[in-house]
Structure 1
Amino acid sequence: MMDPTLTHADRLVGQVLGEVGSLPDVFVELEVNFFLVRRLVGVRTKGTESPRRVSRLARGEIVMFNIGCMSTAARVVAVRNDLARLQLTGPVCTSRGEKVAISRKVEKHWRLIGWGQIQAGITLDVPLRPI
């Protein structure tokens, strides 16, 4: 029972709407089990030059995170093997087990470098009623 004018011009893209108490947790930090692709997709190479390899995630690096239809930046806090802890720039309403896409800025464009699955994270306490 939502007014359709609220969705005009994609104003609610990336937002989650649901009944009170039925929505997943709101995370500010995530632990993600990830997999990186071997070579960058969509980056031009000159002549016989081989495609660029994707380097490992580095502590302090900023990456773009796509969860469902929401995009948000995240700072890599720690990396160990295939598990990364990421501090999000803004809170995200999602659930454990959700699939994510990871992008890195390459030559002024965001390029897909891998994907992952949310394992755990630090949540916000959201009041059930507005203050």
Structure 2
Amino acid sequence: MDPTLTRADRLVGQVLGELGSLPEVYVELEVSFQLLTRLIGVRTKEVENQMRVSKLTKGEILMVNIGSMSSGAKVIGVKKDMVKLQLTSPVCTTIGEKAALSRRVERQWRLIGRGQIEAGTTISVPPPPPLP
């Protein structure tokens, strides 16, 4: 692989493999999740009044970390402990993979919960062009 492709961590989160051997590529995910009770790393004046994590709301923007890949996601539906996310960039992953959910708090991304991928909407990957 050409080193210019990998400089400045440009390939972080990308997957490389033979066609047909890689997992599906998803543009929407359904994730079963558990939210933390309190935010981690947010300073407050009193320990008792640490910021609580509020419930997910439709239309909210989150960041989803799956493996080493980070992708923005818009919440398009929430039911109890399931959330449907529309990803800003496609993600190559498998059903059952773990995911971390983060929310923008005071201009920084803060971990708010974790989840597991249950289902999703895939896109087809076009075949590579023939070699000359």
Amino acid at match of 2:88: T
TM-score (norm 1): 0.93
For residues 12 and 96 of structure 1, what CA distance do their matches in structure 2 show? 22
Point out the more displaced range, 81-90 or 8-17.
Answer: 8-17
For residues 108 and 48 of structure 2, what CA distance do their matches in structure 1 show? 20
SS in structure 2 of the partner of residue 32 of structure 1: strand
Other-structure match for 1:120 = 119
Q: CA deviation at 1:93?
A: 0.7
Amino acid at match of 1:33: S
For residues 124 and 6 of structure 1, what CA distance do their matches in structure 2 show? 25
User: How much is the aligned-residue C-alpha RMSD, in angstroms?
Assistant: 1.5
Question: Percent identity over the alignment?
Answer: 65
Q: CA deviation at 1:10?
A: 1.5
Other-structure match for 1:107 = 106
For residues 60 and 11 of structure 1, what CA distance do their matches in structure 2 show? 29
For residues 95 and 10 of structure 1, what CA distance do their matches in structure 2 show? 23
For residues 10 and 109 of structure 1, what CA distance do their matches in structure 2 show? 21
Cα distance, 1:40–1:8 mapped onto 2, change above 3 Å: same
Confirm whether residue 44 of structure 1 aligns to residue 49 of structure 2.
Answer: no
Structure 1, unaligned runs of 5 or more: none
Q: CA deviation at 1:127?
A: 1.9
For residues 86 and 114 of structure 1, what CA distance do their matches in structure 2 show? 14
SS in structure 1 of the partner of residue 40 of structure 2: coil
- After superposition, the C-alpha distances for 1:54-103 in whole angstroms (9 at most, x for unaligned) are 00000010001001111111000000000000001111111111100000
Contact 1:65 1:102 in 2 (8 A): yes
Q: CA deviation at 1:6?
A: 2.7
Structure 2, unaligned runs of 5 or more: none
Other-structure match for 1:54 = 53
For residues 18 and 48 of structure 1, what CA distance do their matches in structure 2 show? 48
Cα distance, 1:130–1:97 mapped onto 2, change above 3 Å: farther
For residues 120 and 92 of structure 2, what CA distance do their matches in structure 1 show? 12
SS in structure 2 of the partner of residue 126 of structure 1: coil
TM-score (norm 2): 0.92
